[in-house]
Amino acid sequence: MSRYPEIAIIGLGLIGSSLARVIKSKSLCDRLVLFDADVEVREKAVALGLGDVVADDIAQAVAAADLVVMAIPVGAMANVAVEIAPYLKQGVVITDTGSTKGSVIKDVSPALPDHAVFIPSHPIAGTEYSGPESGFATLFKDRYWIVIPNGADDADTETFKGFLSATGAIVESMDCDYHDKVLAITSHLPHLIAYTIVGTAFDLENDLQNDVIRFSASGFRDFTRIASSDPVMWRDVFMNNSEAVLEMLQRFNEDLSYLQRAIRWQEGDKLEGLFTRTRDIRKRIKDAGQLDD
């Protein structure tokens, strides 16, 4: 099990607070320092006992850290990297938890000093809830945590991967561009579709809209759960992974047109064939241990 003497977490939403909890529960460092730009969030972190220290400023948070985790929206990465850069000590490892990797590497790498080691990463874990009170220590258990080596020294990378494994995550290395394409179809596009469907429902006239609420079937309820995710985080995801998302959206639109034709021309064999193939996907996800139920 790899551990770091001092860890700093910047950003105390679902991911940051969950990481804080698992670090404390498994003693993965000697000193855990936390910071969030929101004063109220810092006060909640103190009340919840999430860290050894909740710093009042970002310089204090990172100055002695051996590992700094930026658990913040991808759109905020560049500014935070610039803020922390002057205070980072020799050999510190910097990582992030953002859902896009190409944009984060582009935004963060130029700001960091040569004596810092930047290893981007992304935990494939989460819920629709946000805030420090929403975190829990088992969020990463048996969930994939993707690591982008980014030219880091093998020893630094392996130590970092060992630390992530200690959180309960399944750690896997991946190329940056490949990560962004995979997440565009498995995460970003489903959220875009959910936001669109829920938005369409609430653009309907009032009477129908009220009945949409009253008679919400399980499928629509699932979409509303996804569409209730943090709007700032998802705004930044779509703005920073636009190329991959637009590519997958185009492919989705082509498949949707195929379904429209099949429904219009009553081609039941095509519909059944598609539904049969896609049903197998959930079984494969379950077999991979990536379902909660």
51: Cβ–Cβ under 8 A, 6 or more apart, which residues? Answer: 9, 20, 24, 32, 33, 34, 45
Q: Is the pLDDT of residue 194 over 80?
A: yes
The pLDDT of residue 206 is 65
The residues that bridge with 9 in the sheet, in sequence order, are: 34, 69
Domain end (from 153, 174, 195): 174
Domain count, the chain: 2
Domain end (from 117, 142, 174): 174
159: Cβ–Cβ under 8 A, 6 or more apart, which residues? Answer: 2, 93
152 and 262 both lie in a single domain:
no
Whether 157 is covered by a domain: the verdict is yes
170 and 188 both lie in a single domain:
no
Q: What percent of the chain has pLDDT over 90?
A: 75
113 and 201 both lie in a single domain:
no
Domain end (from 130, 154, 174): 174
152 and 70 both lie in a single domain:
yes
Residue 259 — pLDDT band, cuts 50, 70, 90? very high
CA distance 65 to 171: 23
What are the structure tokens assigned to 194, written together?
């959910």
CA angle 237, 146, 50 (to 5 degrees): 80
159 and 21 both lie in a single domain:
yes
Reduce the DSSP state of residue 68 to 3 states and report it.
strand
The pLDDT of residue 288 is 76
> Averaged over 77-83, what is the pLDDT?
97
Residue 293 — pLDDT band, cuts 50, 70, 90? low
84 and 156 both lie in a single domain:
yes
CA distance 13 to 104: 18
258 and 140 both lie in a single domain:
no
98 and 211 both lie in a single domain:
no
Q: Which domain holds residue 281?
A: 178-287
Cβ–Cβ under 8 Å, residues 99 and 241? yes
237: Cβ–Cβ under 8 A, 6 or more apart, which residues? Answer: 74, 99, 100, 188, 191
72 and 214 both lie in a single domain:
no
234: CATH: 1.10.3660.10
14 and 148 both lie in a single domain:
yes
Residue 235: what are its φ and ψ, rounded to 5°?
-55, -45
- For the stretch 195-214, pLDDT in tens is 998 888 877 766 666 777 77
Whether 134 is covered by a domain: the verdict is yes
100: CATH: 3.40.50.720
The pLDDT of residue 202 is 79
120 and 187 both lie in a single domain:
no
- For the stretch 148-185, pLDDT in tens is 999 999 999 999 999 999 999 999 999 999 999 999 99
102 and 236 both lie in a single domain:
no
Q: Is the pLDDT of residue 292 over 70?
A: no
